[in-house]
Chain A
């Protein structure tokens, strides 16, 4: 029997071992991947040296999808098969999409009830999750080629104001792309990490993040490596795209182009609008030259004065969330030490000016608004992958929207209010309405409004098997748990009877777990990748991870937290896994990992309690504050 190896205390079990990890900014307009190399966080370019990957996917028969600049070139000529700004569709229903402005130039498939809209393309129906997964695959490949190995995990950023459905959809896309998500990180928080560490910033910071399709405002307290989000607010359907659409509409009006123009004309006009917007960031006028294939010819110009008048209402729409975030944080404008501008849309001088006016200070604009989010995500990914065991950084984030449950009369009872620090769990007791009631319908909603109709429906499920009792006698405890990714799970349990009736639900918007599995299988078949080999490799990597973590734990705490017999039991399971992992059977390896997990459970709990005690050691109830 092989003996368990124990390294010298204080020395790493695997010297110079660096887990490859990356931060991904999956943006509406552009996406980026970044990593920490030799202690430095940097974004990774493609072969041609471009760091930004346009978030555009083009589908054609019998070829793999094109992603990025190559796809962008086809957006005008083949608009129905070229998907732009797919992030705006993530976790949203067709009715949401229809209300976000002028119709989007795609061939949507009307689906009944809930769920994300599917888009009809030449390669079949595509869901927003699949399209996002194609973008993520490109970034994964870029990172793995550049770093020369498989990524152990990634941190993917999402708008802070993304609701549960939008977060879940993003995580599903990552799974589909074959990525292990270490954490979903809120974009303004990621920006604060990159900015805060770089500038050694302290105090209260407002991060104003206006991207291609989303707007967030987060207020954070920065102190000694702690990034504490005090409040966040925003609009997950407001961004640079909307500014483009306004300009395009203005052009259509001036040039006499009908509102029901062809798909490709709309795409062309949106491109021209985007160009004009970018020109106006540095010039006073933008020339406009419209020549559409159906004979419409129009020349004109857009002055920055006209532009500002057009966009002021949109900028104004970002002010109300700023006020609300301040209110929720219990602060006034005077409490803010710095305002940091993030996101490509903050390049517009008018946005900087208006936000500066509101916060009564000149905002910080000297960081690259495109790259900062990916850099922050890379820094956290590096830490979460275990490359910096002594790092003291701590991110404390919040849930952006209140989570509630439907009660009598379609009224929402809030269970977790917005801007509560996560992870968080809250429970509420309910009872039966009728004598002998044996089931209870539970409707989970998210939003700030009082009526269910005005909130987002996240999940509906039923708790069955309640023993028949008189009305009001049963006690059904419904518990909402939001994890550190901001994802919700809901459980319901009847508590008086002792008869187990419990259900746990993870809301998923339109996509079920088995659908993800099916799509994963499909995509693997398409890529002609051997799923057997892939599965085996994954389990082996997981086994190594578990073994390394356990060895480190035993080195640190084995001596004082394990009894001799426990140590022997763990040792035997560990050795078992060590020999099994070299085999070819993924299932057997998985089983051995689970067994090792089982036998180390008490040890893990003891270690955690020990570390809690340790953190409070030397503290006494009459200690005076240092400040």
Chain B
């Protein structure tokens, strides 16, 4: 197995959106135990460089697969479907809902309502994850593509809420 193989192969996992997180974590740690630069502290400069590169690749693969949004984007990429950060959404109903959420967020100036808003957002992200799971299991990639783009909007909003929270506390 070479590390240029797809990320699922690296961890000997089936190519699927539904992923056994425990297994992924366990295999990730087994691999890092083997290639982490700490294991090569005494090796030659070239070997240390190689170890850093391998460990970097394994970290990257792990991050991509661990997180549902990046995992979904990666699965689409394997299908030849590129997802772009700046892709626009034409679904007017979804856009309307997003605008309402943003307006609501702009009004929040206190920590408790902000946290409630955050919980709602997280619930919606969870729902989107379930939707993605269904769409991928039905090989419905075009719909999954739309869901991923919606997902990106929610992730961005989520980040904004977190940085707002940081300012408030």
Chain A: residues with CB nearer than 8 A to chain B?
153, 182-183, 226, 228, 320, 323-324, 327, 380, 383-386, 392, 394-396, 420-425, 481, 483-484, 545-546, 549, 597, 600-601, 604-605, 608-609, 611-616, 619-623, 625-627
Contact = CB atoms under 8 A, between A and B. Distances in A.
Interface residues on chain B, size class: 35 or more
A424 B41 contact: no
A323 B169 contact: yes
A423 to B, nearest CB: 5
Given A383-B38, A424-B59, A625 B22 contact: yes
B23 to A, nearest CB: 5
A324 B166 contact: yes
Contact of A616 (B20, B27, B42, B53): B27
B150 to A, nearest CB: 21
Contact of B33 (A182, A386, A604, A615): A615
Interface of B: 1-3, 11-14, 20, 22-23, 26-27, 29-38, 41-47, 50-56, 59-60, 62-63, 162, 165-166, 169
A212 B162 CA distance: 30
B54 A424 contact: no
Chain B, interface SS category: helix
B75 to A, nearest CB: 16
B50 A608 contact: yes
Given A396-B36, A425-B53, A619-B12, 17 more contacts: A324-B166, A327-B165, A383-B38, A386-B42, A392-B33, A395-B38, A421-B63, A423-B59, A481-B56, A484-B36, A484-B37, A484-B55, A546-B44, A604-B44, A604-B50, A615-B30, A625-B20
A385 B45 contact: no
Contacts of B54: 608, 612
The 8 closest A-B pairs by CB, nearest first: A384-B41, A484-B37, A619-B12, A615-B34, A386-B42, A625-B22, A604-B47, A621-B14
B23 A625 contact: yes
A623 B23 contact: yes
A616 B1 contact: yes
Contact of A613 (B1, B29, B50, B63): B1
Contact of A327 (B30, B31, B162): B162
Contacts, number: 115
Contacts of A620: 12
Contacts of A481: 52, 56
Q: Is the interface of A mostly helix, strand, loop or mixed?
A: mixed
A421 B30 CA distance: 16
Contacts of A327: 162, 165
Contacts of B20: 625
A386 B38 CA distance: 10
A625 B20 CA distance: 8
Contact of A424 (B22, B38, B47, B60): B60
B56 A604 contact: no
B28 to A, nearest CB: 9
Contacts of B166: 320, 324
